[in-house]
Structure 1
Amino acid sequence: MRERSDRCPGVLRPWPAEDGLLVRLRLIGGRIGASVLQSLLDVAEEYGDGRVHVTARANLQVRSLPDVDGRLRPDALAALERTGLLPSRTHELVRNVMVSPQTGLAGGRADLRPVAEELDRLLCADPALATLPGRFLVVLDDGRGDLLERSCDLGLVALGGGSAQLRVGSDWGPVVPLDEAAARIVDLAGAFVARRGSGPCAPWHVDELDGRLTAPVAADDRLPRPGGPLPFGVVPGGRHVPVSYAGLDRAAVTALVADRLVVTPWRGVLVPEEGHD
């Protein structure tokens, strides 16, 4: 049995690495404005190792930050907040929403960007959900199957026709209208919080609960086949650029010419075609 609380890092809960503090900044669906990424790089250059790192959950990290008693130095924290990447101090650790990177740009059965935005709004509006574990993950697949094999706590797969089938841990949930999906997922997250309890032994994931969160439902016949990862290079809707484990430096960020970018779950950045954002 696990005997420690979740320690997934954030800005207000940095991780003490050997080279200084590491912070993680959550992006909803990986989406970020190019100017915001530039601002974050400015912070990394002034206070950290001069690079912005990407994660397998399509989030960003900055490392080697100054430590004062296990917390970020106040001026470094203020600089990170000025980027706009910490919209909620209370819910920063629970904004873990992965979305098909090409959604709304090319392909897929539905544009899930509005669903993701509504989900983020509802998550941050519920005080009880601030206690979700930092590893709790929501995955939204727009029906192309690119995230179908990603494990998650909650999520959905678009079926077309304005509907989607919910994912509840490793089970399938009911088919719901897309315009109700965000609220249904938030209700399930609330049910998880109520069931998990508290303390270091409390479950981090839906599948760790004693009993199912909901009754399982059969997989819908309209579900897609797994689509696999997005290849690097020119792809429908843009250009997928790989990011090394060393992260993005000034030259790499400058080369990402677009108003809005999408960090992908395959340690890359999708640069949308001109006219798409």
Structure 2
Amino acid sequence: MLAAMPPHVPSPTPAPGAPRVRERGDACPGALRLHSADDGHLARLRLPAGRLTARQVEVLADAAEALGDGRISVTSRGNAELRGLADGCGAELAPLLAEAGLLPSPTHERVRNIVASPASGLDGLGAADVQLWARELDERLCAAPWAAGLSGRFLFVLDDGRGDVTGLGGDVTLVAVAPDAAHLHMGGRAVRVAAADAPRAALAAARAFLSAARAAGTGAWRVRELPEGHQADVRDVRKALAAEEVPEAVLPQGPPPAPGPLGPAALHVLAPLGRLTAGRLRALLPADEVRLTPWRGAVVAGTDPARLPALETHGLITRPDSPWAGVSACTGRPGCAKSLADVRADAVPGRPGLPVHYSGCERRCGHPHGDWVDVLAAPGGGYLVDGAPVPRTDLAPAVTTARTAPRTTR
């Protein structure tokens, strides 16, 4: 049975140096617990590693058309959102998702937050295929009753060594450092574990976080919210798995895969402003599987990269030199009551360069990680581009300058 969530009341901002106290559970929507928005209800489907089978692609597209507004939003964690859902859609949506394998555990569906290097195993890069780790971790997560106590914001990040997803702010981050070894990072510490133990180690780290959160009594949702003296300790994982602490471990940093071919039998495309119509989603087929990405696109595995020109005719972004590559936006008006503008209608790409994100309010929902151009709607119809006031009619040159100028000059 689907349920709409009550309006979210944010916790008070703590004083400098004081720990954040969460007085209620997180309000993140799920597939069963919906968020009420101005354009209807919203369902967020957790897709570990962004993975969809061909059958699930069809089901998701059908659900968007039959029950929602016909679009699928891709989130900054590679999950999928359906918007415009009616009040009475629960009797249809939940069984539809469950039958397609998109709802394997009703009790754990909001905590299945697993991001993994989307091109892993496809392009010959990386030290290990972390997509396999993601599947095992998801199975272990759903099988652990205690794991249902994790926040819907708690994030596992699995990087195959190329560094494309390490900057996404994971609470528990696994990095493949060799075909048979991984580093597990949490709370500023790291341990080395055998690759075969990596998913088990990630789950043990999450349990250590929950123990620390209970001891702190502050209701922390994320590892970084734990107060001083109550840090989750990866040394507990070391004891459980005979792991070795790595004092100087550094997270690798690398770029995301560019739109285009990924080896001989895969490709990567981006969704304009992070949204796929049902038709564009179906256009990705045939494929062995589709992996939604944190950069609001899709890696299509088991297909001919020669299909890229055809996918471009569907409106997908297929080339790294497209000015729309790296451009994203929040929902904006009319879907969000807090937004000051229809940011999707106002968005202009400028010239290719830094990622740019359009936000309708100061929450900046869905903004990228790392270095990005901040375009924020302002009262009166204008925008702030990296803090500088810009009339809506002058957005294009201002965004171009912000995306292409050296950051040290601004």
Are residues 1:274 and 2:303 paired?
A: yes
- Aligned residue for 1:40, secondary structure, equals helix
Letter in 2 for 1:231: A
Match of 2:134 among 94, 99, 116: 116
Using the TM superposition, name which of 210-219 and 24-33 deviates more: 210-219
Q: Structure 1: 5+ residue runs without aligned partners?
A: none
**Corresponding position of 2:177:** 159
**Paired residue type of 1:204:** W
Gap change, CA 1:224 and 1:89, over 3 Å in 2: closer
Identity of aligned residues (%): 40
What are the superposed Cα offsets for residues 74-129 of structure 1, whole Å, 9 maximum, x if unpaired? 22332232332111001001110100001111211101122111111111111111
TM-score normalised by L of structure 2: 0.62
Indicate yes or no: 2:233 matched with 1:206. Answer: no
Question: Which residue of the partner structure matches residue 47 of structure 1?
Answer: 67
Taking the TM superposition and a 5 Å limit, the aligned residue runs for 1:79-228 are 79-106=96-123, 107-169=125-187, 171-197=188-214, 201-210=218-227, 211-214=230-233, 217-220=246-249, 225-228=252-255
Tell me what 1:250 maps to.
Answer: 278
Amino acid aligned to 2:148: A
Q: What CA distance in whole angstroms lies between the structure 1 residues aligned with 2:199 and 2:304?
A: 28
The 3-state SS of whatever aligns with 2:168 is coil
Look up the match of 1:29: 49
Deviation at 1:35, TM superposition (A): 2.1
| Post-superposition offset of 1:232 | 1.5
User: Aligned AA for 1:241?
Assistant: V
**Aligned partner (choices 280, 285, 289) of residue 260 of structure 1:** 289
- Residue of structure 1 equivalent to 2:38: 18
Contact in 1 for aligned 2:74/2:274 (Cα 8 Å) = no
Residue in structure 1 matched with residue 269 of structure 2 by the alignment: 241
Q: Equivalent residue of 1:64, what SS?
A: strand
Q: Which has the higher contact order (CA 8 A, sep 6+)?
A: 1
Contact 2:64 2:278 in 1 (8 A): no
| C-alpha contact (below 8 Å) 2:51/2:289 kept by paired residues | yes
- Return the alpha-carbon distance in structure 1 between the equivalents of residues 75 and 172 of structure 2: 20
Q: Counterparts of 2:273 and 2:217 in 1: how far apart (Å)?
A: 31
- Which residue of 1 is the match for residue 349 of structure 2? none
Distance in 1, Cα, partners of 2:274 & 2:166: 28
1:67 corresponds in structure 2 to 87
1:240 maps to a residue whose letter is H
Instruction: For 1:206 and 1:32, locate their aligned partners in 2 and report how far apart those are by CA, in whole Å.
Output: 29
Equivalent position SS for 1:197: helix
Distance (whole Å) between structure 1 residues aligned to residue 139 and residue 301 of structure 2: 25
Per-residue CA deviation, residues 253-275 of structure 1 (Å, 9 max, x unaligned), is 23213131111110000112538
Query: Any conservation in 2 of the 1:5–1:200 contact (CA below 8 Å)?
Result: no
**What is the total number of aligned residue pairs between the two structures?**
270
SS at match of 2:272: coil
Mapped partners of 1:254, 1:184: distance in 2: 36
Flag as ranges the 4+ runs of structure 1 deviating above 4 A: 198-201
Q: Which amino acid aligns with 2:99?
A: R
In the TM superposition, what is the alpha-carbon distance from 1:212 to its structure 2 partner? 2.0
What are the Cα deviations for residues 29-48 of structure 1, in whole angstroms up to 9, with x where unaligned?
A: 11111221111111111111
Give, in whole Å, the separation in 1 of the partners of 2:269 and 2:96: 27
Task: List gaps (5 residues or longer) in structure 2.
Answer: 1-19, 236-244, 306-410
Q: Which amino acid aligns with 1:132?
A: L
- 1:234 aligned partner, one-letter code: P
SS at match of 1:120: helix
Which residue identity lines up with residue 13 of structure 1 in the other structure? R
Contact 1:30 1:262 in 2 (8 A): yes
CA contact (8 A) 1:230 1:266 kept: no
- Cα offsets for 1:156-187 (capped at 9, x unmatched): 11111400110103x13111101111111111
- Distance change >3 Å, CA 274–CA 94, structure 1 → 2: same
Supply the distance in 1 between the matched residues of 2:173 and 2:283 (Cα, whole angstroms): 33
Counterpart contact for 2:288–2:303, Cα < 8 Å: no
